[in-house]
Structure 1
Amino acid sequence: MVGCKNEDEALNFEEFFIEEVSETDCDFEEENCAFISIHTPFAQDVGPRSRTINQNIEEHILGMVDYQEMKNLGSLEELAQRFIDDYEASAEEFPEYNIPWEASVEGRIVHNSPELISLEYKIGLFTGGAHGYTSVSFLNLNPETGEVFSNKDLFTTGFNSYAEKIFRKKNSIPEDGPINSTGFFFEEDTFQLPKNIGFLKNKIILRYNAYEVASYAEGGIQLEIPLEEVEEFIKIL
């Protein structure tokens, strides 16, 4: 009985990291190298719950670093190697194209309770072109099963209307006007919650990354709502 462990106990997390640099003709002074860095919490306990959590974390990161619609990648190690290989193949084919590639993923736990684990990821990606791409994403996990919570799992239907009121007020959109009347481009001119919603200790963050509902020039659009204001709409707390 001493060796038994209750699967509902608090999970232990440690940082997992990968850092890879290209080797072919790499000269840091000339900045003609590729570099990829991935830092993320991973569950360290043994058991199906931790395996599910880590699998969902990997899938989330693989989906974020999707610079060439990369498919059939099964791990973060494969992602890092593919990124370096693609850069070196490009540098070999176009030797005059002396522009470094860089990818960075920084993950951290922003909420950890018996009801919810919320992780925040910041990504920076540059593979040439006029500018790079940065984004912030959130991954909300069920601590009991390790599965990903969807917005429908987390919120009642009333939260959408409440969030729209906050969004309109912050962005000076008339209450009786179309949601896109000031330049946003929500599909079908109808407000939608973002894909990325994060839970911190005392607030909820709604994050629209570049291109989701506005142009790249607008950057990321973020709402921060005190948790006490929306508790009635949250199913799991």
Structure 2
Amino acid sequence: MRKLLLPLFFTTLLISCQKETSAPEFEELNIDQVSSQDCNPEEENCAFISINVPWVKNAGARNKTINHYIEQHVINLVDFQEEDEFGSLEELSQNFIDNYEASAREFPEYNIPWEASVNGRVLYTSPEIISIEFNLALFTGGAHGYTSRSYLNFDPETGEPFSNEELFTSEFKDYAEQLFRKKNEIPLEEPINSTGYFFENDSFQLPQNIGFHKNKVILRYNAYEVASYAEGGIQIEIPKEEAQDFIRIF
């Protein structure tokens, strides 16, 4: 029996150590591209795209999975109409510049430089979760640009992103609705859209984007999600100790 237990002990210890020491190591991926058309750098009027996001350094299935989801997330942010399919962020960047230059040639009277900026950072890491924040600023003509803040939450062991259902208990939605109503002064007895919001079917829904700091959970509704552009982003921050009972993974 001791001969069986001893190898088992060392195997368990080895697996434990590997989990502790094999956490993803992030570096920064930088892609910057500027159009040469109608560009005067001294006047800072050049069309450009700038991508600065966390990127896992080492090879391996788990790390490749994380990088894949980061890449696809950035592509979806910039190419939000999903008109094209891109194999890399470099392709996305080149396409953005190409589209601007084609538009500038076709409509020279509307020659306003396009801009796209995506900045990401690792908000929080633990043995249970990796939370990454992305800030987008996008302008491709029109009356105004668009900004958003979004999050990806990864399982550190598999590299797969968590869904809200995996992160939170079913009771969290009701708890979040109470906080939303209190913050935005919506009476409990009134419909959630009674003060001008436009939740689908007049029913509260958790935001698509939820992020984790060390000491708080962030619920983020970007412009147009549940309110007009003029309202901007709506954010609720919940102290982690208050949300703890609703979080499945901790």
1:88 alignment partner, one of 101, 104, 118: 101
Paired amino acid for 1:43: V
Q: Which blocks of at least 5 consecutive residues in structure 1 are unaligned? A: none
Paired amino acid for 1:113: S
Offset, 1:233: 0.7
Residue 14 of structure 1 pairs with residue 27 of structure 2: yes
1:177 aligned counterpart, secondary structure: coil
C-alpha distance in structure 1 between counterparts of 2:157 and 2:24, whole Å: 10
Paired amino acid for 1:107: G
Q: Aligned residue for 2:47?
A: 34
Q: Aligned residue for 2:128?
A: 115
Kindly provide the CA deviation profile for residues 18-56 of structure 1, in whole angstroms up to 9, marking residues without a partner as x.
000001232234554211000001011221000000001
2:77 alignment partner, one of 44, 64, 69: 64
Offset, 1:7: 6.3
Residue 184 of structure 1 pairs with residue 230 of structure 2: no
Structure of greater Rg = 2
Q: Which blocks of at least 5 consecutive residues in structure 2 are unaligned? A: 1-16
Q: Aligned residue for 2:10?
A: none
1:231 aligned counterpart, secondary structure: helix
Residue 223 of structure 1 pairs with residue 236 of structure 2: yes
Offset, 1:70: 3.1
C-alpha distance in structure 2 between counterparts of 1:194 and 1:128, whole Å: 28
Q: Aligned residue for 1:159?
A: 172
31 and 91 in structure 1: CA distance in 2 versus 1, 3 angstrom threshold: farther
**TM-score, L = length of structure 2:** 0.90
Offset, 1:69: 3.2
C-alpha distance in structure 1 between counterparts of 2:43 and 2:116, whole Å: 18
Paired amino acid for 1:109: V
Equivalent pairs, count:
233
- TM-align CA RMSD: 1.4
Paired amino acid for 2:41: F
Q: Is the 8 A contact 1:32 1:98 kept in 2?
A: no
Offset, 1:142: 0.6
Q: Aligned residue for 2:150?
A: 137
Q: Aligned residue for 1:193?
A: 206
Kindly provide the CA deviation profile for residues 167-193 of structure 1, in whole angstroms up to 9, marking residues without a partner as x.
000000001110001100000000000
More helix by share: 2
**TM-score, L = length of structure 1:** 0.95
C-alpha distance in structure 1 between counterparts of 2:145 and 2:235, whole Å: 20
2:91 alignment partner, one of 72, 78, 92: 78
2:108 aligned counterpart, secondary structure: coil
72 and 96 in structure 1: CA distance in 2 versus 1, 3 angstrom threshold: same
Superposed structure 1 runs of 4+ greater than 6 Å apart: none
1:55 alignment partner, one of 57, 68, 72: 68
C-alpha distance in structure 2 between counterparts of 1:112 and 1:70, whole Å: 34
C-alpha distance in structure 2 between counterparts of 1:211 and 1:185, whole Å: 9
Kindly provide the CA deviation profile for residues 65-108 of structure 1, in whole angstroms up to 9, marking residues without a partner as x.
12553321111101100000000001111122220100000000
Residue 170 of structure 1 pairs with residue 183 of structure 2: yes
Paired amino acid for 1:118: S
Q: Aligned residue for 1:214?
A: 227
Identity of aligned residues (%): 65
Q: Aligned residue for 2:117?
A: 104
2:127 aligned counterpart, secondary structure: coil
Q: Is the 8 A contact 1:31 1:100 kept in 2?
A: no
